Amino acid sequence: MIYEPSMMAVFIFLGFVGVTMGLSFYLGGKAKSSAGYFAAHGQIPWFVNGIAFAGDYLSAASFLGICGMIAFYGYDGFLYSIGFLAGWIVALFVVAEPMKRLGKFTFADALNARYQSRGITLVIGISTLAVSIFYLIPQMVGAGALITPLLGFPHWAGVLIVGVTVVIIVVTAGMVSTTWVQFLKGSLLVIFSFVLTVMIMQRGFSVKDGGIDGYHFRTLGPFAASELIDPEHPLQLAAPLKDQPELAEATLAFESSNDGEQPTFVVAGDTFWYIDTHAGSEVFLRECQTMQTNPEGQLLVNGTPLGTKKGEAELHPVGYISKLPGDVESSGPVGPLSFFSTLQQSEVIIWKKKFSKEHPGMTIFTPIPTAGSKVLRPGENPKFAGIRSSNPIDKLNFISLMLALFCGTASLPHILIRYYTVKDEAAARKSTIVGIAAIGIFYVLTLYLGLGAMTSGALDLTDTNMAAPLLAKSMNEFLFAVISAIAFTTVLGTVSGLILASAGAVVHDLMKNVLRMQINDHEQVRLAKITSVAVGAVAIVLGILFKEMNVGALVGWAFSIAASANLPSLIMLLFWKRTTQEGIIAAVTVGMVTSLGWILASGATLSTVFGLTGHPGYVPFSEPGIVTIPLGFLTLVVVSLLTKPHVDTPTEAAS
Amino acid sequence: MAARNARLGLILFGIYLVIYGSFVLINAFAPNLMESTPFAGVNVAILFGFALIIVAFLLSLLYGWLCSTPSTTDESGKGAA
């Protein structure tokens, strides 16, 4: 779609971002030493730190990716919400306090408190860097998705703006300011998501035949199934249909995955009609939308050049209900439970991308009437369709993802450093509980927001990540500006936290402890800032490259890498006395290399990032967790048993 | 005190692991069960999902409360484990 910026939205947005950055600079002026830069002097109040946990964690991916996935496929995106939250249980019950007792600034310090090994510092530093960068990608992609409908800039401009802004924030400020900024955004995100949810319930559901631009998608029929195809010429429409004015000179087209028995589309001029046979003996023809690049490199929408001028066209927004229970036109306001029970008995038009044999290179967006009971069950997203297959390998992909989400939170470097910003274990515990409460409320809301977006009439077929801001836009411009600004500052905050974690890993771990560089306190902060600029540049480039992917799925991968590389060592160090430093080094290396390699070799990466459409990949499924996490544990145990046990010093033995 | 908290954490973790694990396994091996609507016309997938979020919060509250209570039953607790 093409977006016209609204002046009010832009003003509210800029005001919001300006205040956040101003606050950041003001607070940043107070942090000069390296302890202040990396860990906020250990003086953040626990409640603030707890909401800041939520601010850190509820990144662009949670907000944009999950809502988008729910809006396009139904329940499945909510599986990410459940997994992301469940991960906190591991973080709180298993990791939180031992980490706080062991650590100082970074994850590496915690793992290394017992061994003082340069090898451990090196591998953990590298894995922190790898996870941070992988987690940065979805944030940058999300930033582009926010900027586009708001300011009308292209995606790459949004990514560039975020990258530059964040680097400025990080270079001028540090941990103190990111904590307070995260606190502010964490609270606003939860509050405004709640407001939006209440508005969705107030609006209720109503039956429509098009999106908010007022375009009515046409439906022809019903026809009897027997009168569809000419019995004499099996590749032509039958006479009664040919006589319809819309279908003059129409031909039939077959879906690319179809073996040629039943045609999927009727093509009349530039208009594609989907042959909808789901009602059994009655057949409907439903108007589709198409997108194609012509030989001159021009993008054609429904056969016309893309644009807003006369003689140009753009994709119509979609997302509407075609039938409500009791065949009423409008449900009126609904409650938190009747929201689901009403939708359960409705029929929603879900638009799916299809491709045709006769029209290669063309994307056909096809309206498929889908029962609400299907929308609200797991397994409709192609990524999760495996759970309904009889092939056990397909089920493994799903289990693998849920395992990675469960184990990933405790292993994320930018989440772990927050444990050190409060003064003791009790405070760390309390702030984690506050964090879980805020995050839990938000994730419950994501299901309402996603399904609200699904029925908002505002969905952009070309970008799943834009569902949440566009939902707000369908309510009113003010709310849209506020939600976009919060989401955008959320991106800023998460990205600055990640860049700080990377800078900490490079300067504190790699330069100071591994290379034994003699750097004083002041120089350390300066080097961290230089590193931040470099990491920011890498993130900008990757954010532009990964534009096509749903950001929720990208975060899932970051979790897989974090869980595979870091979790085995962390758990075994805390609970198995026989763990050796060689075991840790081997486990981190193996976990990181195998999970990263698996992801890069998967069909999903090859087709969306490297442009090899339809490539099946070199691994049996795309989520590595179920293989690489146990592999990390196994490596650690085997290598530890093969190497000399660590001899405890008397003081540590006493504890 | 620290050892008691750590053990408590592991027990609560075990409880949650069982609930989360059953959710994942039902989804993977009996997805049709998730479609039934036992309460107020809302299906199991949504009810179970919300329950997982609420239980996570309740367990964390319980943990926070038990950890901060100065324990007089520490000895008996050790004996039981």
- Interface confidence (ipTM) of the complex: 0.85
Domain annotation covers residue B28: yes
Instruction: Give the residue numbers spanning the domain of A413.
Output: 7-12+37-205+394-654
Over residues A455-480, the mean pLDDT reads 84
Q: Give the whole-angstrom CA distance, residue A97 versus residue A94.
A: 8
pLDDT at A279: 75
Domain annotation covers residue B62: yes
Residue B22: CB partners within 8 Å, gap ≥ 6? Answer: none
Answer yes or no: is pLDDT of A654 > 50: no
Q: How far is A24 from chain B (nearest CA, A)?
A: 31
Chain B residue numbers with beta carbons less than 8 Å from the beta carbon of A437 are 57, 60
Asked whether the CA dihedral A209, A279, A323, B34 is positive or negative, the reply is negative
State the DSSP string of B26-73: HHHH-GGGGG---BTTB-HHHHHHHHHHHHHHHHHHHHHHHHHSPPS-
Q: How confident is the model at residue A651 (pLDDT cuts 50, 70, 90)?
A: very low
How many independent structural domains does chain A possess? 1
Chain B residue numbers with beta carbons less than 8 Å from the beta carbon of A101 are 2
Query: Nearest Cα to B63, choosing from B72, B52, B51, B55?
Result: B55
Asked whether the CA dihedral A333, A337, A340, A344 is positive or negative, the reply is negative
Tens-place pLDDT, residues A232-244: 776 777 777 777 7
User: Is B63 in Cβ contact with A395 (below 8 Å)?
Assistant: no
Answer yes or no: is pLDDT of A624 > 80: yes
Query: Nearest Cα to A81, choosing from A60, A99, A67?
Result: A67
A637-644: list long-range contacts, CB under 8 Å, 24+ apart.
A637/A572, A637/A576, A637/A583, A638/A583, A639/A580, A639/A582, A639/A583, A639/A586, A639/A587, A640/A572, A640/A576, A640/A578, A640/A579, A640/A580, A640/A582, A640/A583, A641/A578, A642/A582, A643/A580, A643/A582, A643/A583, A644/A580
Type of residue at A87? G
Q: How confident is the model at residue B80 (pLDDT cuts 50, 70, 90)?
A: very low
∠ CA A340-A346-A350, nearest 5°, is 100
Q: Give the whole-angstrom CA distance, residue A313 versus residue A316.
A: 9
Answer yes or no: is pLDDT of A567 > 80: yes
Domain annotation covers residue A340: no
User: Which of A47, A57, A76, A82 should one mutate to test binding to chain B, selecting the residue with the greatest count of B CBs within 10 A?
Assistant: A82
Domain annotation covers residue B78: no
Chain B residue numbers with beta carbons less than 8 Å from the beta carbon of A85 are 52-53, 56
Q: How far is B54 from chain A (nearest CA, A)?
A: 7
Q: Give the whole-angstrom CA distance, residue A605 versus residue A632.
A: 23
Answer yes or no: is pLDDT of A245 > 80: no
Answer yes or no: is pLDDT of A498 > 50: yes
How many independent structural domains does chain B possess? 1
Domain annotation covers residue A24: no
Q: How far is B11 from chain A (nearest CA, A)?
A: 9
User: Is B43 in Cβ contact with A373 (below 8 Å)?
Assistant: yes
Over residues A589-601, the mean pLDDT reads 89
pLDDT at B77: 38
pLDDT at B76: 39
User: Is A340 in Cβ contact with B42 (below 8 Å)?
Assistant: yes
User: Which of B17, B33, B50 should one mutate to test binding to chain A, selecting the residue with the greatest count of A CBs within 10 A?
Assistant: B50
Most confident of A212-221, A222-231, A507-516, B53-62: B53-62
* CA-to-CA separations, A266 to A238, A252, A304, A356, A543, in angstroms, rounded: 12, 5, 19, 11, 39
Q: How confident is the model at residue A487 (pLDDT cuts 50, 70, 90)?
A: confident
∠ CA A526-A528-A530, nearest 5°, is 75
Most confident of A64-78, A524-538, A549-563: A64-78
Answer yes or no: is pLDDT of A481 > 60: yes
Tens-place pLDDT, residues A422-449: 667 777 778 888 888 999 999 999 999 9
Query: Nearest Cα to A20, choosing from A365, A383, A492?
Result: A492
Q: How confident is the model at residue A162 (pLDDT cuts 50, 70, 90)?
A: confident
Domain annotation covers residue A343: no
**Separation of CA A428 from chain center:** 27
Q: 3-state DSSP call for residue A439? A: helix
Domain annotation covers residue B61: yes
Answer yes or no: is pLDDT of A309 > 80: no
For residue A279, count other CB atoms closer than 10 A to its CB.
12
Answer yes or no: is pLDDT of A479 > 60: yes
Domain annotation covers residue B55: yes
pLDDT at A528: 79
Q: How confident is the model at residue B50 (pLDDT cuts 50, 70, 90)?
A: very high
Q: How confident is the model at residue B47 (pLDDT cuts 50, 70, 90)?
A: very high
User: Is A444 in Cβ contact with B6 (below 8 Å)?
Assistant: no
∠ CA A431-A432-A434, nearest 5°, is 65
Domain annotation covers residue B20: yes
Answer yes or no: is pLDDT of B75 > 50: no
* CA-to-CA separations, A225 to A264, A356, B11, in angstroms, rounded: 13, 21, 60
Over residues A243-262, the mean pLDDT reads 74
Domain annotation covers residue B66: yes
CATH number at residue A545: 1.20.1730.10
Lowest mean per-residue pLDDT among A111-125, A172-186, A260-274, A337-351: A172-186
pLDDT at A591: 92
Q: Are A462 and A480 in contact (CB under 8 A)?
A: no
Question: What pTM does this model have?
Answer: 0.85
Q: Are A284 and A295 in contact (CB under 8 A)?
A: no
Domain annotation covers residue B79: no
Answer yes or no: is pLDDT of B66 > 60: yes
Instruction: Give the residue numbers spanning the domain of B47.
Output: 2-71
Percent of all residues in chain B with a pLDDT value above 90, rounded to a whole number: 31
Percent of all residues in chain A with a pLDDT value above 70, rounded to a whole number: 86
User: Which of A46, A95, A342, A377 should one mutate to test binding to chain B, selecting the residue with the greatest count of B CBs within 10 A?
Assistant: A377
For residue A489, count other CB atoms closer than 10 A to its CB.
25
Over residues A496-506, the mean pLDDT reads 77
User: Is B43 in Cβ contact with A387 (below 8 Å)?
Assistant: no
Answer yes or no: is pLDDT of B81 > 50: no
For residue B1, count other CB atoms closer than 10 A to its CB.
10
Stronger pLDDT, A149 or A217, i.e. the higher one: A217
Among A94, A406, A444, the residue with its CB nearest the CB of B50 is A444
Q: Give the whole-angstrom CA distance, residue A583 versus residue A570.
A: 12
Q: Give the whole-angstrom CA distance, residue A385 versus residue A393.
A: 12
